[in-house]
């Protein structure tokens, strides 16, 4: 169930791989690290939210679909987009290797939402961060 989308696109990191893997950062008084969301590609959120909300996220974020063997959504820089659900908010990030040994991470957007309980056969991505 969609409430509000905030697009505050911001570059969080641009540097070497070894620094990237140790990175921690804060957005809206929430702490994050790469391991919180690197296993949550944007395509997986289609199983959690309704199609209208998903389509709006794609449109507002100006994400491009790369239809290959595995469906992938890319940011303006061509980096894969990932999500994290935390405290009823959906945070979207894009990251990856932009050039050899140069990694970039962007905060793409925040969707403030109230999600329905997931069906038992459809787990929500990112819940491991609450363990």
Q: Count CB-CB contacts under 10 A for residue 119.
A: 9
Task: Give tens-digit pLDDT for 40-92.
Answer: 999 999 888 889 889 989 999 999 999 878 899 999 999 999 999 998 889 99
What does the pLDDT read at residue 117? 53
Instruction: Assess contact for 127 and 114: CB atoms under 8 A.
Output: no
Tell me the chain's radius of gyration from C-alpha atoms.
Answer: 14
What count of Cα atoms within 13 Å lies in the side-chain half-sphere of residue 130? 9
What does the pLDDT read at residue 78? 94
**Token code pair at residue 36:** 């919180």
Instruction: Assess contact for 25 and 37: CB atoms under 8 A.
Output: no
Q: What is the mean pLDDT of the segment spanning 79-108?
A: 94
Q: Per-residue DSSP letters for 79-98?
A: PEEEEEEETTEEEEEEEEEE
**Spatial distance between the Cα atoms of 62 and 7, rounded to a whole number of angstroms:** 11
What does the pLDDT read at residue 26? 93
Alpha carbon 22 to chain centroid, angstroms: 18
pTM assigned to the model: 0.80
**Spatial distance between the Cα atoms of 33 and 50, rounded to a whole number of angstroms:** 27
Least confident of 46-60, 87-101, 109-123: 109-123
3-state helix, strand, coil in the chain (%, to 5): 20, 45, 35
Report domain extents, the chain: 2-113
**In whole numbers, what is the pLDDT of the chain averaged over residues?**
84
């Amino acid at each position: 169930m969609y409430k509000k989308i905030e697009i505050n696109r911001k570059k969080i990191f641009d540097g070497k791989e070894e620094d990237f893997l140790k990175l921690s950062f804060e957005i809206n008084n929430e702490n994050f690290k790469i391991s919180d969301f690197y296993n949550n590609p944007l395509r997986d959120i289609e199983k959690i939210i309704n199609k209208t909300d998903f389509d709006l996220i794609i449109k507002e974020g100006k994400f491009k679909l790369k239809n290959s063997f595995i469906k992938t959504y890319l940011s303006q820089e061509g980096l894969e987009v990932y999500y994290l659900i935390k405290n009823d908010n959906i945070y979207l990030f894009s990251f990856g290797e932009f050039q050899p040994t140069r990694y970039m991470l962007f905060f793409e957007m925040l969707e403030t939402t109230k999600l329905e309980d997931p069906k038992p056969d459809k787990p929500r991505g990112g819940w491991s961060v609450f363990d």
